A and B are shown apart, each in its own frame.
Chain A
Amino acid sequence: MIGLTAVSNPKLLRSILPALSLALVLGAIFIKLPTAMSYFGLNLLLQYAVPIALATVAQMFVITVNDLDLSMGAYVGLVACIGATLLHDNPPLGVLALAACLAAYAVMGAAVQLRGLPSIVLTLGMSFVWSGFAVLLLSTPGGHAPDWLHNLMALPVPVVPFPIVAAAVIACVVELGLMRSSFGVILRGAGGNSKAVARAGWSLLAAKVAMFTLAGVFGMLAGLSLLGLTGAGDAHIADRYTLYSIAGVILGGGEFVGGRVSPAGAVLGALTLALANSFLNFLHISPDWQIGAQGAILILVLALRALIGAMERRP
């Protein structure tokens, strides 16, 4: 009985770690900038939380099946460029182009499964393809966000800032779909124990294609929401999103292998990153050190998790 509580405590600790990190960053912000604790302040601090959260969820789908998408940033950038050009000037063509992007993601999933290709290499190659198309569409920053997109991202929500509402909605939807549905169990199983899932008669190919397509869908939403915020497109607008998305998943408690992920955690991780970013800007920390600070935060959280893991293993 005593052993049981000792084991359950680190588990609890591990599950609240993402929320704890977010609270830590929030606390630091409120101490340093008491004025930020307002509707307006939070809105400003969390401005880019929605696209980062969506990209993180997209990356989480890929990580669930033990792969990694190193093309996420380039892809989000391409979607923003399509939105700022084709979707604005010629909506049917724009929708067609976005559909082609999704099809490409489905093919990527199939290629990884059928040819046993390492996803790192395939997606690194794809990042060139995405950037290439983005540069073709917009060789210099420009274009216009469609009005509906702009209005959607500026949606006035009473009391609670829009980014928080949006993040909560995203977390709930994905949590329900991936963690609580029977379909989600199979998809996660494809990452956890692919042999068992295959023996049970499920198609691993279908699972992989489904997860990559979902990543394509959420990456697309990330690109469109980013465009709604910025108003104009740029091929390199989202280059950092590859790193943000991976870091977000890991901060949110996702494991690299074995299909152990947490959608709500991933969204919390993304919020933490977005806040930390804004905070570093407010502190006037030289942009030189911002990437380094993110690396340090990542290592810190992982170190904490290793510590908890060691507590779990202790008899």
Chain B
Amino acid sequence: MMPEQMIRWARWARSEPWIWSWLATLGVWLATIAFTQGRGSGEVLTAALVFATFTVIVGLGQMMVVTLGPGNVDLSIPGTIALAGCAAMKLTDSENPLLLVGILAALGIGVAVGMFNYGLIRLLRIPPIIATLSTSFIVQSAAIAYGRGIRIKPAPMLADFATARILGVPVLAMVVALGSIVIGIALARSRFGRSVLAIGQNMRAARLAGIAVDRTRFATYVLSAVLASICGVVLSGFSGGAALDMGDEYLLASIAVVVIGGTSVAGGKANVPGIWGAALFMYLLVTMLNTFGASPGIRLIMTGVIIIGVILVAGGEEQ
């Protein structure tokens, strides 16, 4: 390419940061099907859509929190996923009629965790990283103590919903896609979304402009925890029950999809399509390494290296 074209392209890519995650997704998908010579290319995409959906659910919450500005991050997501999943399974006890109770309990846990998080941040002036980390210790302990040895199957309705497909497309992915569109519109149009962006750009200015800073931050942390609890419910529905460690991988995943997806870590700039691209990329990356027959050690190393590589290319702020 001519240098001038490259500059123009680079400028466009900078203004549309989600493009990187989708390019990376395409790249690993092509590498995978090149290795299998085209076999199973569709199945891989369907599976990616399913697993990416779970990451997108928590990624959207993390995105809103990160958009609040530097230092804002929710590390309590894994604990919330585990506790909400366990509570939903235990209270539902595999019975359809009790499903509503289980879901309401999980949502209640989400609201409580979010409120506790923001309570620590606001009342005790604890930095969000430490506040949500401390919360996650406690929530994780509660999940371990409460869910010890549980192996309760999800209610059939929940399991059916989490695994249903229409024309090969997972229903859950469609629902979450709709939810993503709602969040995207909310960010661009609603008072809440625009307040989040304004606070992320400059909290002081936002406060002076009369934006309800505390209420907005509070609602954002609650939203993130509630999304994590929803993820816990559908994830246990999908995988035939809750497990205590099922949230663990979503700590890195939720933060990584936000950054890889082009949401500004400095805050004030969110990107919904990027979350999807990054979540698909993360899943396809693991699939690719599995297809190549990499050993667990190599797989871990490559996952880390490639994630860092994409962040180095796509993320980062101009100095």
Selected from A120, A132, A289, the residue in CB contact (under 8 A) with B299 is A132
Q: Is the CB of A288 within 8 A of B126?
A: no
Which of B138, B145, B256, B297 contacts A135 (CB under 8 A)? B297
Other-chain contact of A256, B71, B135, B252, B305 (Cβ < 8 Å): B71
Contact of A291 among B140, B311, B312 (CB under 8 A): B140
Find out whether the CB atom of A132 lies under 8 angstroms from the CB atom of B300. yes
Say whether A302 contacts B126, CB under 8 Å.
yes
User: Across the interface, do B137 and A294 meet the contact criterion of CB distance under 8 Å?
Assistant: yes
B73 at the A/B interface (Cβ < 8 Å)? Answer: yes
Contact with A along B281-304 (1 / 0, CB 8 A): 000000000000001111111111
Count contacts between A and B, CB distance < 8 Å: 136
User: Which residues of B have CB within 8 Å of A309?
Assistant: 125
Contacts known (A125-B304, A302-B130); A117 close to B316, Cβ less than 8 A: yes
Whether the pair B298, A115 counts as a contact (CB closer than 8 A) is no
Q: In the bound complex, how far is the Cα of B137 from the Cα of A296, in angstroms?
A: 8
CB pair B298–A136 under 8 Å, yes or no, is: yes
- List residues of chain A with CB within 8 A of the CB of B303: 128, 132
Give which listed residue, B73, B124, B256, B297, contacts A133 with CB less than 8 A: B297
Known: A116-B317, A124-B252, A128-B300. A292 touches B138 (CB 8 A): yes
Q: Are B296 and A292 in contact (CB under 8 A)?
A: no
Q: Do A121 and B316 touch (CB < 8 A)?
A: no
CB atoms of A131 and B311 under 8 A apart = no
Among A135, A256, A288, residue most surrounded by chain B Cβ atoms (within 10 Å): A288
Whether, in the assembled complex, B183 has its beta carbon less than 8 Å from a beta carbon of chain A, the answer is no
CB within 8 Å of A: which B22-57 residues: none
Find out whether the CB atom of B137 lies under 8 angstroms from the CB atom of A291: yes
On whether A292 and B137 interact (CB within 8 A), knowing A116-B316, A129-B305, the answer reads yes
Picked from A128, A243, A246, A290, the residue with its CB within 8 Å of the CB of B301 is A128
A122 within 8 A of B: yes
Q: Which of A114, A134, A291, A306 has a CB less than 8 Å from the CB of B125?
A: A306
User: Assuming the A-B contacts A125-B304, A306-B124, A306-B125, are A114 and B319 also in contact, with contact meaning beta carbons closer than 8 angstroms in the complex?
Assistant: yes
B120 within 8 A of A: yes
B126 touches A295 (CB 8 A): no
Contact flags (1/0) for A94-133 with B, using CB distance below 8 Å?
0000000000000000010011111011101111110111
Determine whether A52 belongs to the interface, using a CB cutoff of 8 Å to chain B: no
> Residue-by-residue, is B145-178 near A (CB-CB < 8 Å gives 1, otherwise 0)?
1001000000000000000000000000000000
| Contact A124:B255 (CB < 8 A) given known A136-B298, A294-B137 | yes
The answer to the question of A5 belonging to the interface, with a C-beta cut-off of 8 Å to chain B, is: no
Nearest CB in chain A to that of B128: its residue: A256
Q: Say whether B104 faces chain A, with CB atoms less than 8 Å apart.
A: no
* In the complex, B318 has a CB within 8 A of chain A: yes
A15, chain B: closest CB distance, angstroms: 18
Q: How far is the CA of A132 from the CA of B134 in the complex (A)?
A: 27
Task: Say if the beta carbon of B10 comes within 8 Å of chain A.
Answer: no
The A285-307 residues at the B interface (CB cut-off 8 A) are 286, 288-296, 298-299, 302-303, 306
A303 / chain B contacts, CB cutoff of 8 Å: 124
CB distance from A48 to the nearest CB of B (A): 18
Shortest distance from the beta carbon of B267 to any chain A beta carbon, whole Å: 11
CB proximity of A112 to chain B, nearest CB, Å: 9
List the A side residues contacting B255 at CB < 8 Å: 120-121, 124
Query: In the bound complex, how far is the Cα of B306 from the Cα of A126, in angstroms?
Result: 10
**Contact between B312 and A111 (Cβ–Cβ < 8 Å)?**
yes
User: Is B142 part of the binding interface, using a Cβ–Cβ cutoff of 8 Å?
Assistant: yes
Complex interface: chain A residues within 8 A of B297 (CB)? 132-136, 139
User: A residues near B, CB below 8 A?
Assistant: 68, 111, 114-118, 120-122, 124-129, 131-136, 139, 243, 246, 250, 256-257, 286, 288-296, 298-299, 302-303, 306, 309
Interface residue ranges, B against A (CB under 8 Å): 71, 73, 120, 123-127, 129-130, 133-138, 140-142, 144-145, 148, 251-252, 255-256, 259, 265, 295-305, 307-308, 311-312, 315-319
Leading 3 A-B pairs by shortest Cβ distance: A292-B141, A295-B137, A128-B304
A-B pairs with beta carbons under 8 Å apart, 16 shown: A116-B318, A118-B315, A127-B252, A128-B252, A128-B303, A128-B307, A129-B305, A131-B300, A132-B298, A136-B298, A257-B127, A294-B137, A295-B138, A296-B134, A296-B138, A306-B124
Contacts beyond the supplied A124-B256, A298-B133, A302-B130: 6 A-B pairs with Cβ under 8 Å: A118-B265, A135-B300, A139-B296, A291-B141, A295-B137, A296-B137
